[in-house]
Amino acid sequence: MAGIVSRSILSVALLAGALVGLSTSLAEAQIADGNGALQISWEVRNRFRLFREERDFLLHTEAGRGRSVLAAEQALEVQSDGRGWARNTVNRLCIDLTGRVSEPCSRDNVKESYLTPIDHPIVVRLSGPVPVGATCAWSFDDGDGPQVSTFDCAEPVNLRVRYGRSTVASVDVSSSDGSQRVSTEIAVRDIFVAGLGDSVASGEGNPDRPIALADEGFCFRSYLGTAAAQYYRPSRAGYKGGRACEAPDLLPVWQRQSALWFNPACHRSLYSYQTRTALALAVQYPHIAVTYLPLACTGATIADGLLGTQRARDCPPSKTAACQGTVNSQLAELREALTAAKRRQPDRKLDLVLLSVGANDIYFSGLVADVIVDTPTERALFRRSGVMASVDDARGALTRDLPQGFAKLREALKPLVGDMSRVIYTSYANPTAQGGAPCPGGRAGFDIHPSFNAQPQRLAAVSNFVDSEFLPQLKALALCQGGILCRNPRADRMTFVDSHQAAFANHGFCARAESDPEFDRQCFSATGDSFDPDIVSSASQPMLCGRSAGEFRAYLPRARWIRDANDSYFAAMTYPQGLPSSMQPNDIHDATWGVLSAVYGGAVHPSAEGHAAMADAALPAAAAVLQLDAAVPEVISQPVPPVAPPAKTR
């Protein structure tokens, strides 16, 4: 049993065996003479502070050992049998379902201020050729005087070190071979990271706990159709209400089996590239802690979302069907958090902003609708309601509106972040590309709704617009290039990330491989014939492959890193509670809900693998901006000074 060091400010617990399962390599500070004889190693425990429990962080340190974020995600997907690692973690966060930060947050049974921690838990150990049976006299001094305890050198030391000051750690090692002293300075750097932006930033398409699907079918109506104009698709598992179109049920009954996001109003997901980037920083750098504030919201534009309020996308499953109508401005939320933090810690600052925005400003969802909605009735209705947009519409917004919006956003961010290079703008990837060309189109991946068909000519036009106009313009906006007006181009440039785009070129929504999950290969038809069109037989078995829809796994490795419409339905099947009243479905069998159930939860958005690939691109940029690869202080090694004889008493 290890010894225990305690003081009123530093809470120190020395528990033998407390690190069973601690899987990350301890950061090692080399001793000054370089001979590697003995080392003091230390790291921050549970250093991704969004996680309440260390077991959730250790899952990622183990998966991330020697792996990229993408490879770690794929390993976790296989480990969870495609159910996803976040399905349990989502209930153990320092942020609740409404997006409110828990202040204080109880992390590993210790109450901490989330935004302004006063101390951090660390583990210290002596490593290297430690003599068997050696005794270690440890001393930790943060300026209030040393606290010393002696015990076996094989035992790790767990303690909390005060934030904002250094703690000198010294150990006197005594063994039959003699004595030696090793010292180092411990200073935890707590990095405050905010995530801002739209659906790609929030993680849309990847609910933390996916929907569970039933074997039997659920009825949807078709627009302007007769009583016979109905079709069946897989129902939600556990739903006990009416599945036939003639037997509508109350929405709360249906919502009890919803997918779960850690923030439903914005479809914020732990799988988002922003969360994975912040988490990867914590995994990779043992001497830091990461305080992450996720604020991105699906559907956000610069004007409505970042600078102003926006409509909520969804509601958490609850006892009532009432839905909060709006979401606060992301920058207002960030200002409020920073103000509260500075009130408690005046020197607290925002270290990094992760940002992706602009797609909704040029009507990208409208472009998607224009590509995939193919039947005349639905196209006429959607065009009339403003849901669809053409490439010309998007081009006009790109040249007319987006530069002005970007300028306003830049000016709003400056007072919050100071140095604009600390804003890491991660660009989008073209979701429609495969093998260097646009996807061929067709109903494959989109036959979840009878009106869907990725029309090849419209698809090619959108793909070319994204590659040749939209993505280059975003880069110019972020970097103040190509005639973009910035007040001070050198000082106004953001850090820009787009290295993931080349990888996505072979992983668009149409990518298929023999390594894809067996259910996908057997049940999602390459010709767009996945579902039984017979209104009678499909009520009990909607899948033509004859397999249970419940076998679908949202989180398994796939060739496609983009969710298609089938994926969106099978993973999220989101009922649209955040729509304007004029567009709100009448009931749960409504034709509008039938369309939106297939796209509202993330069609044509990156999968968890896609987000992991984006995080791999953003991670080195973040580390460089934060200068995390700077050398650590050296350990001081020296012989133990002779013990002074006790003073003689008269």
Q: What pLDDT is recorded for position 312?
A: 87
The least confident of 292-296, 382-386, 508-512, 614-618 is 382-386
- Average the pLDDT over 311-339 and give the result: 80
Average pLDDT over every residue of 56-60: 98
pLDDT beyond 50 at 142:
yes
Helix (H), strand (E) at residue 123: strand 119-127
Structure confidence at residue 579 (pLDDT): 66
Question: How high does pLDDT run on average in the chain?
Answer: 88
In sequence order, the β-bridge partners of residue 39 are 127
Report residue 38 as tokens: 């003995």
H or E element that contains 82: none
High-pLDDT (> 70) share of the chain, %: 88
Nearest to 452 by CA among 368, 543, 576: 368
Position 582 scores a pLDDT of 66
* Cα distance between residue 520 and residue 557, in whole Å: 11
Residues 182-228: pLDDT tens digits?
Answer: 999 999 999 999 999 999 999 999 999 999 999 999 999 888 655 55
Task: Give the span between the Cα atoms of 344 and 322, in whole angstroms.
Answer: 36
pLDDT surpassing 70 at residue 113:
yes
Q: 609: closest CA among 149, 165, 71, 235? A: 71
Q: DSSP character for 470?
A: I
- Give me the pLDDT at residue 30, please: 38
Q: What pLDDT, in 10s, does the model give residues 474-526?
A: 999 999 998 777 888 889 999 999 999 999 999 999 999 999 999 999 999 99
pLDDT of 251: 77
How many whole angstroms separate alpha carbon 232 and alpha carbon 123? 56
Q: What is the pLDDT of residue 21?
A: 36
Omega before 104 within 30 of 0, i.e. cis? yes
Cβ neighbours of residue 408 closer than 8 Å, sequence gap 6 or more: 302, 303, 307
Q: What is the pLDDT of residue 597?
A: 79
Strand partners, 151: 136
**What is the C-alpha to C-alpha distance for residues 466 and 473, in angstroms, rounded to an integer?**
10
- The Cα 71–Cα 511 span in angstroms is 19
Q: Are 140 and 169 in contact (CB under 8 A)?
A: yes
- Whose structure tokens read 């109350």? 250
Mean pLDDT in residue range 399-413: 95
Looking at residue 20, its pLDDT comes to 32
More confident: 424 or 591? 424
On the question of pLDDT at 8 being above 50, the answer is no
Which range of 26-30, 235-239, 391-395 scores highest in mean pLDDT? It is 391-395
pLDDT bucket at 390, cuts 50 / 70 / 90: very high
Best CA proximity match to 264, nearest among 202, 313, 330: 313
- Tokens 């930790």 label which residue? 140
pLDDT in tens, 157-168: 999 999 999 999
DSSP letter for 468, please.
I
Q: pLDDT-derived band of residue 248, with 50, 70 and 90 as boundaries? A: confident
In this prediction, residue 324 carries a pLDDT of 63
Please give the Cα distance from 541 to 530 (Å, whole number): 12
Q: How many CB atoms lie within 10 A of CB 11?
A: 15
Residues 549-576: what's their mean pLDDT?
Answer: 94
Interatomic CA distance for residues 611 and 617, integer angstroms: 10
Q: What pLDDT score does 423 carry?
A: 98
Q: 613, exposed or middle or buried, with CB in 10 Å at 0-12, 13-18, 19+?
A: buried
Q: Which two tokens stand for residue 588?
A: 């749960």
Residue 633: closest CA among 28, 154, 193: 28
445 pLDDT exceeds 50?
Answer: yes
pLDDT at position 590 over 90: no
Q: Is 387 helix (H, G, I), strand (E, B) or coil?
A: coil
Lowest mean pLDDT among 241-250, 420-429, 534-543: 241-250
What pTM does this model have? 0.91
> Which among 321-335, 475-489, 529-543 has the top mean pLDDT?
529-543
| pLDDT exceeds 90 at position 255 | no
The structure tokens listed for 165 are 């000051």
Judge whether residue 99 has pLDDT over 70.
Answer: yes
Q: How confident is the model at residue 22 (pLDDT cuts 50, 70, 90)?
A: very low
pLDDT at residue 32 is higher than 70? no
Asked whether 277 and 60 are in contact (CB, 8 A), the reply is no
User: Given this model, what pLDDT does residue 224 score?
Assistant: 63
Distance between CA 625 and CA 426 in Å, rounded? Answer: 14
Give residue 645's pLDDT band: very low, low, confident or very high (50, 70, 90).
very low
**Those residues with Cβ within 8 angstroms of residue 585's Cβ, 6 or more apart along the chain or in another chain:** 575, 576, 592, 593, 596
What's the whole-number mean pLDDT along residues 539-543? 96
